Structure 1
Amino acid sequence: MIRRPGSGRVPAGPVPAPPATLPELLAHRAAAHGDRTAVINGPARLDFAAWQGRSGALAFALRAAGLATGDRVGLWFGTDRWTEYAVAFLAVLRGGGVAVPLSDRTPPAALGHVLTSAGVRLLVHAGPGLPPGTPPGVRGLTEEDAAGHPTASDLPLPDPAAPAQILSTSGTTGAPKGVVATHANLVHGCTHDERRRPLRHSRTFLHAFSVGSNAGQTMLVNALNAHASCVTAPQFTPARFLRAIAEHRVGSVFVVPATAIELLGSSALAAAADSGGLDTVRLVGSTAAALPQQVALGLSRAFAPAQIVNYYTSTESAPAQITLLFDANRPQSPGRPASLADLRVTDDTGRPLPPGEPGELWLRSPAAPRTYLGDDDGVFQDGWTRMGDLGRVDEDGFLHLLDRERDVVKSGAHKVSTLQVENALFTHPDVVDAAAIGVPHPVLGSVVAAAVVPRGTDPVGSGGDRDGLTATALRTFLLDLLAVHELPATVIFLDSLPRNEAGKVLKRELRRTLTHDHCEATP
């Protein structure tokens, strides 16, 4: 769960027992202050009382449609239907089912694969019909089907140890995997104590995350648990996002690197700052991937004096999370963890390494750990989750992410960090976005290749010059920042990088593009 930095002294007094499930937490909040707004999505508003009533009625309709305890239920919604999605998600949990959230932008083949592999037989959607790719035998249900049904107040609350949710991993380099979370996992860190609610410094918090992403699910839990109301953008554009900050006097803004890059590249950002539209922001949090150094610095300038925070977590490890407070004086690191107790750096045998030594990163979950639907591939061990990243913690306690383990380029006798190459690319004033990968080489095994989105220029053909920005000029610029074996041997210029719904670069697609004959290669 994305949490805020410390919000000051908490009044003394007895602490109520925490909720055991999300439906229990919703019932508590509906009873305590039902008319308080929980979710804002464009013109749609959802308060806690309506959330409780509508989800209860839909839970009853699901049971009437044949839902049995433990059955998997697909949820297919877009970012313009966040209030309806919030109702449907809690309805599935309240009815004893296991929610399988999916964005309405999921391609038909991927939708069919997820629903089949998860064993889904019911699909709650916004209508009017079932989405393309729905396998035969899957029955559709909408909230309208719950009209006239009583609420499910007589249903028993689910077992905290039972499965509650199946999310798909991002699949940026391989096939997505289903990750199972229990009710206890999802509700970890939530509270019944009004004095201890997260985001107390904010009247509202804002995000534009999609349904079906781990970041989106974190925001849904925050909507249930936080002091602030959740504002979720129906459709992300920089101008609309910035207007929402001003309109709702947002105190906490949550982004992924892709949206941060778009915000910094928008002419609307300066206008919003000049008009005072950003003055309420106290926290800018980024998740899904580490912010490139230049992007983090740009955010710290644009939203000053707000704290910039990188949240280090994953679909597999949540609610395990490391909160990294970005320091503009140490931009080479995403930040210093508030605590290192649940982070370890190990060698390839699992032995913890001392400060300064690079190795594999692991996170320890404070709650019931998640699991894969299939083979765990050694990812989950004794409460720890292998993150698939390489990194180190320096002597001052700052975390340094070196690369995804599978993205390291083995070029001859050298190992090259694609993150380091990307950070160097971002320092060029005409580079808006960039990604680096390894591509095959007949002698060295692999070499670095880069895809670059240049600033404010029109394409003249894939890999061609753009107002003077060429692969040769870019490599010359990088000579002062990278070693020779780290320089991209191949560079192409694109209008945009291929990204998934969570904003992560799809490197498997770039790899296909970068091996085509039209790439501009340089010696």
Structure 2
Amino acid sequence: MRAVRPGSARDRPATPTVPGLLAARASADPSGVALTVHDIGSLTFEEWARRSDAAALGLIDRGLRPGDRVGLVFGENEWIDYAIAYCAAQKAGGVAVPLPAALPAGELRRLLAHSSAACLVHGEGRNPPHTGLWTATLAELRPGAGSLDDVRVRPGDAAQILYTSGTTGEPKGVVASHANLTFGCTADPRRRPLAHSRHFLHAFPIGTNAAQTMLVNALDARPGALTLPRFTAARFARLIEAYRVGTVFVVPSMAIELLNAGVREKYDLSSVLLLGSTAAALAPSVAMALTAAFPRATIVNYYTSTEAAPAQTTMVFDPARPDSVGRPASGGSLMISDGEGPVPPGTPGEVWLRSPAEPRGYDRDGDAPGKVFRDGWVRMGDIGHLDEDGYLYLLDRESDIVKSGAFKISTLRVEAALHEHPAVADVAVFGVPHPVMGSAVAAAVVRRSEVSTVELRAFLTGRLAGHELPTRWLVLPSLPKNTAGKVLKRELRTLLATPEGDDAAHSS
């Protein structure tokens, strides 16, 4: 199989571009509200189109050329300006490079250099570090005498570079074309997704794959996008009640916070008919609790990655298959491989997804030799197996599997068992070095109520094999997470290895 390179597929004239989606929506529904940022303001499709046109002309006036990369740094209260700048970069023929506003100055400079950004567009009042690039706020991008008529944006052109979360290594830039981002989108108003809702709600930070999916949803879905600058369970639930939100998108860490906050008892959540969770698999007990907290909602787990999107599996929570993340959606394909080819159902192996759309690829880093991208297939970095009906079950991240003596232990399995204890509010399981076994199982626990690690180990004894039981424990007020809500297990390993962590750590 050959490696797939960004932009290698032929243009598909019938496929829209991101600016094309915006133009069509602004023409059909100019006064429709595309995006609302709670307590900040709203953006109509007409305003989005007009203001992004002006900003695109401003970029061209400053010398932006087709194919140039445009760094974008906006905070979560600046979603409106971010959406305008994102489309402006593409209308000018450029490639949008969204970067989290919380990045340290050194990391921001590194990623801008890595992406070969030509400039940096940033939010008002933000003082970006010296990068050697020209910088501007959206208001400073004033149109000159140029025209957008001569700018040709094609479906196969690169549209964005999005950096991976870096939880298992250095972040990598993932290039997506317009054809990839707009796959499945429609200009037919009768076929717009999420038609049961007037609003869909999320709180994903800019610079994540989930946030980019929401941005495209704002262009394509029937309801308007609703977001809030900073996620808290109470504020999120309050918005559901106030706006009568029909569709909600979260990551598992947000779902856990909503459950721990007891939002069902405090707010009216009956308007929610769809709750989608992405970025990681929902623990079965968490998914079951969500069905009780959102009694009218269908709970759907989406499994994908920054590299694989829009390929994904979807799973409507089914008590008969509580551990499954589902089957391929929207014409995609799924394979469990032993490294040479597919393996039979029930056999563990590497999880690969293939997108029905033009595939993504790494920018500059290469993929030697086809480790992640092969003939349209994307290696997910997870180990899993299929059942006889084609449902996918994840065993663990390849990098997270604990190899202890002759055993390979799934941290997801241990986490799922700990989530069943009523006193456990959140948990992360990881491997730590062991002088004899190679690695041992450790668990970091956030408690909802008082419980000892001895009691937790006893609770697990009837649910897990002896070699799966944690031998090291951390009891913490919260788990360290990145901006996307993923647990940073490397920080937990460091904490367990330091004297500062000894007070919270317990061996058994």
Matched residue, 2:358:
368
Which stretch of structure 1 is more off in the superposition, 140-149 or 508-517?
140-149
Say which of 184, 190, 193 aligns to 1:189: 184
Structure 1: stretches of 5+ with no match in the other structure: 1-16, 457-466
- 2:53 maps to amino acid: G
Matched residue, 1:172:
167
Quote the Cα distance in structure 1 between the aligned partners of 2:394 and 2:241: 34
Matching of residues 70-469 of structure 1 within 5 Å:
70-132=67-129, 134-135=130-131, 137-147=132-142, 153-272=148-267, 277-335=268-326, 342-349=333-340, 351-373=341-363, 374-377=365-368, 378-456=371-449, 467=450, 469=451
Quote the Cα distance in structure 2 between the aligned partners of 1:381 and 1:283: 34
Matched residue, 2:29:
33
Shift of 1:321: 1.3
1:421, 1:482 within 8 Å by CA — same for their partners in 2? yes
Shift of 1:344: 1.0
Shift of 1:521: 3.7
Given the two structures, how large is their TM-score scaled by the length of structure 2? Answer: 0.93
Matched residue, 1:504:
486
- 1:60 maps to amino acid: L
Quote the Cα distance in structure 2 between the aligned partners of 1:67 and 1:146: 12
Quote the Cα distance in structure 2 between the aligned partners of 1:281 and 1:340: 27
Quote the Cα distance in structure 2 between the aligned partners of 1:332 and 1:322: 13
Matched residues, number:
489
Quote the Cα distance in structure 2 between the aligned partners of 1:188 and 1:338: 12
Aligned residues with identical type, % of pairs: 53
Matched residue, 1:522:
507
Shift of 1:38: 0.4
Note the alpha carbon deviations across 1:428-453, whole angstroms, 9 max, x for none: 11111100111110000001111111
Matched residue, 1:20:
16
Given the two structures, how large is their TM-score scaled by the length of structure 1? Answer: 0.90
Q: Report the secondary structure of 1:144's partner residue.
A: coil
Shift of 1:471: 2.1
- 1:520 maps to amino acid: A
Shift of 1:245: 1.0
Matched residue, 1:459:
none
Quote the Cα distance in structure 2 between the aligned partners of 1:478 and 1:57: 60
Q: 1:452 to 1:340 in 2, by over 3 A?
A: farther
Shift of 1:129: 4.1
Structure 2: stretches of 5+ with no match in the other structure: 1-12
Quote the Cα distance in structure 1 between the aligned partners of 2:287 and 2:128: 38
Quote the Cα distance in structure 2 between the aligned partners of 1:520 and 1:510: 11
Shift of 1:121: 2.8
Shift of 1:65: 1.2
Shift of 1:514: 2.0
Matched residue, 2:9:
none
Note the alpha carbon deviations across 1:342-367, whole angstroms, 9 max, x for none: 11111132x11222222111110112
Matched residue, 1:6:
none
Shift of 1:149: 5.4
Say which of 436, 449, 464 aligns to 1:482: 464
Quote the Cα distance in structure 1 between the aligned partners of 2:145 and 2:278: 39
2:173, 2:362 within 8 Å by CA — same for their partners in 1? yes
Quote the Cα distance in structure 1 between the aligned partners of 2:390 and 2:396: 18
Quote the Cα distance in structure 1 between the aligned partners of 2:262 and 2:293: 12
